[in-house]
Amino acid sequence: MLKKKKGLILSLTVATSILLATGCSSSTGGTDSGKGKDGDLPRVGATIYKFDDNFMSYVRRAMQTSAKDKVDLMLNDSQNDQAKQIEQVDTLIAKGAKSLAINLVDPKSAQTIIDKAKPKGIPVIFFNKEPDASVLAGYDKAYYVGTTSSESGVIQGELIAKAWEANKDKWDKNKDGKLQYVLLKGEPGHPDAEARTKFAIDTIKAKGIQVDELALDTAMWDATKATEKMDAWLAKYSDKIEFVIANNDGMALGAISSLEKAGYFSGDKFMPVVGVDAIPEALEMIEKGKMVGTVLNDAKNQGKATVELAANAAKGKDVLDGTSWKLDDKKAVRVPYVEVTKDNIQVGRDAYK
């Protein structure tokens, strides 16, 4: 009986050790063996700045779908920690990654990634957070997949201007002819946050609409932080707020949660809210009339393009081989933005099929 107990304890200890070792692995895609039906699949090492980011969760899903039977995708959650991401890159290189797909925590760290990959000749595909053009220019095997940051701001500004002109009799609460807004900004210094903030407001003004900024603050792309900011703004400005502009849908959804608590979207009490990304949760809010519109940031095609370029790079091919993508003069694939309102909501839905 004692021998059986000792054997059981030993077996449990070994099993626990195996589980712990497995739990430490940050790979969420591909296989350990890298075996495919046509033989070994090339290994692509990938990092995403934060798995629980609303938008990036859809990019990640698209990457995993695109990678199936093409590459062994070793996908890592950097948990919004640049030091962790650097360590992950070291590990991915040690594991034999033939190319890297990197969604930077901090765009300023792009050169550090290049400095690790370049001596080994490993191609790097940055995606979603654009590094400085000089970083891409400095390494012949570095590329970017994303968008033109200013485009989303311009489209959002046009959306706001059209909606305001169509509804200003109802929305201009103090009848002063001006649009009083609060703006939820993404991560300070992030190219998308800076461009969306600037170009949305510049475009509204260019349409001849006068604006007053009541408040602008970062909510770091985060719904919970956005709810907290909106709670504070409603307490301070109350009915003076006439429009809520958010750099992404996650923060727009957070603002809506706050507004709902304050009695908005019930009866005649309404607040126009716009975002960017056209994630399914935002499309649902547009359907329900709780959100005026958004701008499709095509997660499906960003994920697809990233994996297709990384797969070609891992196989030693031209990154565009067999794809429909094109590189601009900055070695970037630009996935276009599209305005989405209730009138064309199917465009947003189709992007997530």
pLDDT per position as a tens digit, 244-296: 999 999 999 999 999 999 999 999 999 999 999 999 999 999 999 999 999 99
Query: For residue 236, is pLDDT > 70?
Result: yes
pLDDT > 90 fraction of the chain, expressed in percent and rounded: 86
User: What per-residue confidence (pLDDT) applies to 315?
Assistant: 96
User: In which band, very low, low, confident or very high, does the pLDDT at 352 lie, cut at 50, 70 and 90?
Assistant: confident
Average model confidence (pLDDT) for the chain?
90
Ordered domains of the chain (ranges, CATH): 26-147+298-336 (3.40.50.2300), 150-296 (3.40.50.2300)
Query: For residue 31, is pLDDT > 70?
Result: no
* Sequence letter at residue 111: Q
Of 70, 50, 23, 22, the residue nearest 311 (C-alpha): 70
Query: For residue 214, is pLDDT > 80?
Result: yes
User: What per-residue confidence (pLDDT) applies to 273?
Assistant: 98
pTM of the model: 0.79
Spatial contact of 250 and 226, defined as CB atoms under 8 Å apart: yes
Query: For residue 54, is pLDDT > 90?
Result: no
pLDDT in tens, 166-204: 999 999 999 999 999 999 999 998 889 999 999 999 999
